[in-house]
C-alpha cells in the first residue's frame, strides 16, 4: 500500500534505513545500474504468454524485437501462434522523456494508432500494459530507497521511482524490490498518480542471457481486483542483432516476411 501521509519512524527504523544506504548502493547508483541493464541495444526474443480473458484461456507464442538506447526505445511484438491470431502485432516508440507512441495491426488491414491513455491497456488482451514494455522508469528524475524486504529468500532493497516534471508516464510511481547481490528485480509494483496500485509483476525465474548477464526470464503480472493473471515465459534472448528503423515502421507490421520469419531464439524479459 502506498502511504502518502507524513509519519515519524522509530529510532531503530531510522538507524536501519541509514545503515542500508551507507552499506549498499545509493538510490542513484542502484537506479543507474538497472537503467543501464534495460538499455541493452538491439535484441530478438521468443516468448510464451498465458492469460485468461472473459473466462477464456489464451496461450500465445510471440516474437519480440527491441532496440533500447539512451536516446530512444523501439519495440515490436508479433503473434506467431495460434493460427487464428497469427500476424497481430504492434510497434511502440519512446524518445527520451516524451510520451510513448504506438501502432496496432490486426490482419488483414487494420492499422490504428495508440493514444497516450491506451498505453495502460493490456497487450493482446493480457494484463501486461504497452507502457510496461517501453518505459524505463529507472531513468526517471526521482529515485529513493524506501525500505528492505526478503523476497524468495533474497534480501532486497526497495527502490521507489517517480517521474520528474519532464517525464511523461501514466504511472505516478513504481516500487522495485531489487536483489542487490545479483542485481536483478524480483518484484515490481506500479501505481497510478493517485496512489492506487495498478499492476504487480513478480519474477518467477531468473536466468543468464546470451551475454552471460542474469535477467528476469519468467514473470507473472497481476492487477489488484482482477482475477486474471498473465504469465510470460522464455529461455534465452539474442542481442546485437541487425535491427533498423524499417523493423519498427508501420510497413513492418504489414510485411508477410515479418510474420513468417523464423527465429530460433527464445527468451523473456521486462
Nearest to 66 by CA among 206, 260, 239, 236: 239
pLDDT of 48 > 60? The answer is: yes
pLDDT of 3 > 70? The answer is: no
Q: Which CATH architecture has domain 27-260?
A: Clam (2.50)
Strands 101-106 and 89-95, sheet pairing: antiparallel
Would the CA dihedral through 185, 187, 192, 193 be positive or negative? negative
List helix spans (H) across the chain: 11-23, 27-38, 130-134, 250-254, 256-260
Q: Please say whether the beta carbons of 222 and 199 come within 8 A.
A: yes
Torsion of CA 9, 147, 39, 153, to 10 degrees: 180
pLDDT of 213 > 80? The answer is: yes
pLDDT of 158 > 50? The answer is: yes
Q: How does the average pLDDT of the chain come out, rounded? A: 87
pLDDT-above-90 percentage for the chain = 76
R_g over Cα of the chain: 19
pLDDT of 109 > 80? The answer is: yes
Q: Please say whether the beta carbons of 259 and 78 come within 8 A.
A: yes
Q: Would you kindly state where each structural domain of the chain is located, as residue ranges?
A: 27-260
CA dist 71 and 94 (Å) reads 9
Nine-digit cell at 117? 491513455
Amino acid at each position: 500500500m502506498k502511504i502518502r501521509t507524513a509519519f515519524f519512524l522509530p529510532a531503530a527504523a531510522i538507524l536501519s534505513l541509514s545503515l542500508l544506504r551507507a552499506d549498499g548502493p545509493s538510490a542513484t547508483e542502484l537506479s543507474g545500474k538497472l537503467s543501464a541493464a534495460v538499455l541493452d541495444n538491439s535484441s530478438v526474443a521468443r516468448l510464451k504468454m498465458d492469460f485468461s480473458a472473459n473466462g477464456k484461456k489464451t496461450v500465445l507464442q510471440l516474437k519480440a524485437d527491441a532496440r533500447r538506447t539512451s536516446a530512444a526505445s523501439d519495440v515490436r511484438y508479433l503473434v506467431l501462434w495460434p493460427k487464428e491470431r497469427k500476424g497481430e502485432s504492434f510497434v511502440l516508440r519512446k524518445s527520451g522523456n516524451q510520451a510513448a507512441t504506438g501502432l496496432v495491426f490486426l490482419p488483414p488491414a487494420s492499422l490504428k494508432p495508440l493514444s497516450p491513455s491506451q498505453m495502460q491497456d493490456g497487450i493482446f488482451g493480457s494484463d501486461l500494459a504497452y507502457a510496461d514494455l517501453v518505459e524505463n522508469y529507472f531513468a526517471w528524475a526521482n529515485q529513493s530507497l524506501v525500505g528492505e524486504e526478503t523476497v524468495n529468500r533474497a534480501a532486497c532493497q526497495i527502490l521507489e521511482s517517480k517521474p520528474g516534471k519532464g517525464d511523461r508516464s501514466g504511472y505516478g510511481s513504481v516500487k522495485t524490490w531489487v536483489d542487490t547481490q545479483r542485481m536483478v528485480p524480483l518484484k515490481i509494483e506500479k501505481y497510478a498518480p493517485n496512489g492506487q496500485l495498478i499492476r504487480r509483476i513478480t519474477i518467477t525465474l531468473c536466468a543468464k542471457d546470451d551475454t552471460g548477464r542474469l535477467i528476469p526470464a519468467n514473470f507473472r503480472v497481476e492487477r489488484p481486483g482482477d482475477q486474471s493473471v498473465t504469465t510470460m515465459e522464455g529461455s534465452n534472448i539474442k542481442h546485437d542483432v541487425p535491427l533498423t528503423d524499417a523493423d519498427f515502421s508501420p510497413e513492418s507490421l504489414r510485411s508477410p516476411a515479418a510474420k513468417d520469419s523464423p527465429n530460433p531464439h527464445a527468451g523473456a524479459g521486462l
